[in-house]
Chain A
Amino acid sequence: DTAVSQTPKYLVTQMGNDKSIKCEQNLGHDTMYWYKQDSKKFLKIMFSYNNKELIINETVPNRFSPKSPDKAHLNLHINSLELGDSAVYFCASSQRRDSYNEQFFGPGTRLTVL
């Protein structure tokens, strides 16, 4: 069984478009995250979401918005896509937000903005 899944795996789109990436976890975890991995492989936290509490990395543009319909899902919506948004986006989950919790990553979504 896949623990953390994401769709789509690849996403190619034009500048200015709006797109969404879906994430689902079947681990029963309370906390979910979105990370951006750029071309230099740098992994950067974008959001963490726990019991309807959202913590936003202050460097993330407000064009990015996470939406959680329920505890098992955390989707990422991106408005007005820019060239610099091209990256691999990873969803992750952990049992709780506090420390000592292994984060399980999804397979990633490679976003290419043309």
Chain B
Amino acid sequence: GENVEQHPSTLSVQEGDSAVIKCTYSDSASNYFPWYKQELGKRPQLIIDIRSNVGEKKDQRIAVTLNKTAKHFSLHITETQPEDSAVYFCAATEGSQGNLIFGKGTKLSVKP
């Protein structure tokens, strides 16, 4: 089955700096890679996603890159703000079935 590894587990940056979170996956049939943000005590919410036929996608300060050959994808947050502080999860589909397998999360702290 699919296995998703996520690094780092914790990340602390200064406000205004960039943050990068990296994930690898094992199932070459995976075709959808979403990123979820979970604030303390809240539900996970989708912030950006990418399909396997796209190499990069950007939405304002957030971007995701995908390297299908190497089976890894990354989340990039530029100009970080304190409200970006949260746990971020990457995920990959189990084959094309739609069930998501999540990484173990990265706790991002943005210091003002």
Interface residues of A (CB under 8 A from B): 31, 33, 40-45, 48, 55, 90, 94, 96-103, 105-108
Which B residues lie within 8 Å of A44 (CB)?
102
Residue B101 is within 8 A (CB to CB) of chain A in the complex? yes
Query: Count the A-B residue pairs with Cβ separation under 8 angstroms: how many?
Result: 60
With A42-B105, A99-B31 already in contact, the answer to whether A94 and B98 are too (CB < 8 A) is: yes
**B23-38: which residues lie under 8 A (CB-CB) from chain A?**
31-32, 34, 38
Chain B: residues with Cβ within 8 Å of the partner, total of 24
Indicate if the CB atoms of A41 and B98 lie closer than 8 Å.
no
Question: 6 A-B contacts, Cβ less than 8 Å apart?
Answer: A42-B102, A43-B89, A55-B99, A99-B31, A100-B31, A103-B34
- Distance from B49 Cβ to chain A, minimum over Cβ atoms (Å): 7
Question: Which B residue sits closest to A58, measured CB to CB?
Answer: B1
**B91-110: which residues lie under 8 A (CB-CB) from chain A?**
93, 96-102, 104-105, 107
Which A residues lie within 8 Å of B101 (CB)?
45
Question: Which A residue sits closest to B42, measured CB to CB?
Answer: A107
Indicate if the CB atoms of B49 and A102 lie closer than 8 Å.
yes
Residue B46 is within 8 A (CB to CB) of chain A in the complex? yes
From B49, B87, B93, A41 is in contact (CB under 8 Å) with B87
Indicate if the CB atoms of A31 and B43 lie closer than 8 Å.
no
Residue B51 is within 8 A (CB to CB) of chain A in the complex? yes
Interface residues of B (CB under 8 A from A): 31-32, 34, 38, 42-46, 49, 51, 87, 89, 93, 96-102, 104-105, 107
Indicate if the CB atoms of B98 and A101 lie closer than 8 Å.
yes
With A41-B104, A108-B43 already in contact, the answer to whether A102 and B34 are too (CB < 8 A) is: yes
A86 to B45: give the CA distance in the assembly, Å: 23
Indicate if the CB atoms of B43 and A100 lie closer than 8 Å.
no
- Distance from B28 Cβ to chain A, minimum over Cβ atoms (Å): 14
With A40-B104, A42-B104, A42-B105 already in contact, the answer to whether A102 and B98 are too (CB < 8 A) is: no
